[in-house]
Amino acid sequence: MNKPRSTRRVALPIVAIVVVFSIVAVAFATSRDGGGTQSSAARSTDGVGPVGTIWVANEQGDTLTAIDARTASVRMTATGIAAPHNIQASDDGSQVWAVSGRNSQLVGIDTVRMRQIGRVPTGSHPAHVVLAADAGAAYVTGSKADDVTEIDLARLRRRASVEVGSYPHGLRPSPDGRLLLVANMKGESVSVINRAGMRRIGDIDVGDAPVQVAWMPDGRHAFVSLHGEDAVVKIDVGSRRVVGRADTDPGPAQIFVTADGSRLLVANQGSAQDPSSTLSVIDPRTMKTITTIETGRGAHGVAADPTGRFAFVTNMYADEVAFVDLDKRTVIARTKVGALPNGISFSPRPLRDDVPASIRLEPLKAPNVGHGHDGDAH
């Protein structure tokens, strides 16, 4: 019996030494890898996130950033766009369009050839852009013009505009493409627009300082973030009334419903003086909070991949994008981008291997119209 006990006394220290050496080696390798990379994501053969590209508008950096969603690494930076506030990828990922707040323009990029498509004047102080399902038209909120403009993307010209509420900000089309819902940030309502003929057909009272909207996949219900009430509300679009509410952390900004309708994501920005740093995950059917995840200072923009497992959040006051595994309820990577990252959009199309590290977007040949964005962080 003495020999086995002696063997165990010798073997245990050897195992401990091996374990300690392994931990030290991993830590040393990690520190070396993290020193010069743009992402703090753990490297693995399986990658970090889904296949695709994350597009980010860096409002104070005057740049757009394209991130490889699989590796959480920056692949391309586009310069030459003044104060980009929001960005949107087409459904097939072949195009992205961003608003230039300072110049009151919509700017498009062909992501296959990686070159500029063109620029179109918008309403004054453009905030957000959304695309029709066929990418034939774009819709832009002109915050200082109190309107929404429809833009023909093939001809690069305005088709029509319609007056909405005070300081329109976020907007999204209904799942069937028939309606547009617009959050009027300096009011207490969202406007409902019929895309056919660009007619405003009504308003829904929702609460203080609505920032963005999101739709359930069935098109019956939608959600509105209320920056002034630290809450998100659920509305019945048909009856035009609020039917649910959930409290959030201070200053909710962008919101997003996953494709399967199982999660409502709310990025809580707070303010520059007192920033929030969380992503609220809410059950959109019951309006009960599932979990709250720390993402980073000034959580503002949020998007998700089509599977609904991964979310991507712009942390405005940290100049980074946080990758969130919603199943594991944790941040799995962080990627440094430009100054004051704001809007964010997921594209299913990965960039080609030969994409340049940077491109320069050319100015509009015709005179600019309207006034620029004045730095409002919403």
Question: Which pLDDT tens digit goes with each residue over 25-83?
Answer: 433 333 333 333 355 543 333 689 999 999 999 999 999 999 999 999 999 999 999 99
Q: Is 239 helix (H, G, I), strand (E, B) or coil?
A: coil
pLDDT value, residue 135: 75
pLDDT tens per residue, range 117-174: 999 999 999 999 999 988 799 999 999 999 999 999 999 999 999 999 999 999 999 9
pLDDT tens per residue, range 297-354: 999 999 999 999 999 999 999 999 999 999 999 999 999 999 999 999 999 999 999 9
Are the beta carbons of 314 and 303 closer than 8 angstroms? no
| pTM exceeds 0.75, yes or no | yes
Are the beta carbons of 217 and 261 closer than 8 angstroms? yes
pLDDT tens per residue, range 98-115: 999 999 999 999 999 999
- Please, what's the b/e burial string for 147-156 (b: 16 or more CB within 10 A of its CB; e: otherwise)? bbbbbebeee
Are the beta carbons of 239 and 222 closer than 8 angstroms? no
Query: Residue 12 pLDDT more than 90?
Result: no
What is the average per-residue pLDDT within 220-232? 98
Q: How far is CA 94 from CA 117, 160, 247, in A?
A: 11, 25, 37
Query: Residue 272 pLDDT more than 50?
Result: yes
